[in-house]
């Protein structure tokens, strides 16, 4: 599909008709559009934090680097990202889990509610005719 007339990348890939996909599967090396989607080629979907972080880091590579990585993974090599970057990405992923978001919402939204209930209970208690 020759639809990339507006796409003028700084460093064109080896075949200009085949743009480098924005993400890849780190298990089989096939390209895809979404970093954490299920691989259509091998069925692999990154589920643990380390695997997901590595897939996200692979998306941050330049087109040339990613193209080279795809070839290396397809040849059986492993993606070895910078350990510090990997650690940071894992930490960011863990902070963004639904559980953490839920706990945050509970603390922020639940505490005032709890206080209101306590105050109302105290008021009701104080108004009781003894």
Asked if 73 interacts with Zn ion (CB under 5 A), we say: no
d(CA 129, CA 102): 41
Beta bridge partners of 24: 31
Burial 85-104 (b: 16+ CB within 10 A, else e): ebeebbeebeeeeeeeeeee
Residue of the chain from 32, 44, 52, 72 that contacts Zn ion (CB under 5 A): 44
Residue of the chain from 13, 19, 28, 64 that contacts Zn ion (CB under 5 A): 28
Residue of the chain from 23, 39, 53, 70 that contacts Zn ion (CB under 5 A): 39
Report, in Å, the least distance between residue 41 CB and Zn ion: 5
Report, in Å, the least distance between residue 98 CB and Zn ion: 26
Beta bridge partners of 31: 24
Q: Which residues bind Zn ion (CB under 5 A)?
A: 25, 27-28, 39, 41-42, 44
């Amino acid at each position: 599909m020759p639809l990339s007339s507006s796409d003028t990348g700084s460093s064109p890939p080896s075949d200009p008709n085949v743009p480098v996909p924005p993400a890849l599967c780190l298990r089989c090396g096939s390209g895809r559009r979404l970093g954490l989607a299920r691989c259509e080629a091998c069925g692999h979907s990154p589920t643990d934090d380390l695997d997901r972080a590595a897939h996200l880091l692979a998306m941050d590579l330049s087109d040339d680097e990613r193209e080279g990585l795809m070839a290396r993974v397809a040849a059986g090599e492993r993606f070895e990202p910078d350990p510090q970057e990997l650690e940071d990405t894992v930490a960011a992923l863990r902070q963004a889990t639904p559980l953490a978001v839920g706990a945050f919402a509970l603390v922020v939204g639940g505490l005032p509610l709890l206080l209101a209930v306590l105050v109302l209970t105290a008021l009701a208690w104080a108004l009781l005719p003894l």
